[in-house]
A = this chain, B = another copy of it.
Amino acid sequence: MTKIKETSTNFENKKLLAEECLEVYASGIIGGQWTLAICCYLINGKLRFGELKKCLPAITERMLTLQLRKLEENKIVTRTVFAEVPPRVEYELTPVGYQLSTIIKNLEDWGRKHKQLMKS
């Protein structure tokens, strides 16, 4: 999750696919390793940076920051900074962010079925 190289074949491929295939586009946006997990927690209401970190004990601060920035860029969360010391920053889903709940639910259902199937 750093800068992307706009000359790589990989970049081109991603762009092309996302252009002609809305589901690929969507999965590119919510497909980061922690993205969905973060959204899951935010769906129950806004959370501070530190609270999210507690929800995801294994995430590093760097990763959490990167993912939140990406979500913010993609207008899926809003970031509100309170001018206090120590600082307080709250993250909340936007309307499009909340609209992910259907997808999340479907993924959950499908995931359950699939997991069951793989066990047998």
Q: Which of B13, B34, B111 is A22 in contact with, Cβ under 8 Å?
A: B111
Q: For the complex, is A80 an interface residue (Cβ under 8 Å from B)?
A: no
Q: Which of B25, B33, B37, B110 is A111 in contact with, Cβ under 8 Å?
A: B25
| Chain A at the B interface: SS class | helix
Whether A22 pairs with B107 at a CB distance below 8 angstroms is yes
Whether A104 pairs with B23 at a CB distance below 8 angstroms is yes
- Residues on B with C-beta less than 8 A from A1 are none
Whether B75 pairs with A96 at a CB distance below 8 angstroms is no
Q: How large is the interface on A (under 10, 10 to 19, 20 to 34, 35 or more residues)?
A: 35 or more
Contact with B along A101-120 (1 / 0, CB 8 A): 01110111011111101100
- Residues on B with C-beta less than 8 A from A21 are 36-37, 40
Contact with B along A78-111 (1 / 0, CB 8 A): 0000000000000000001001101110111011
A66 to chain B, nearest CB (A): 14
Alpha-carbon gap, A17 to B20, bound state (A) = 30
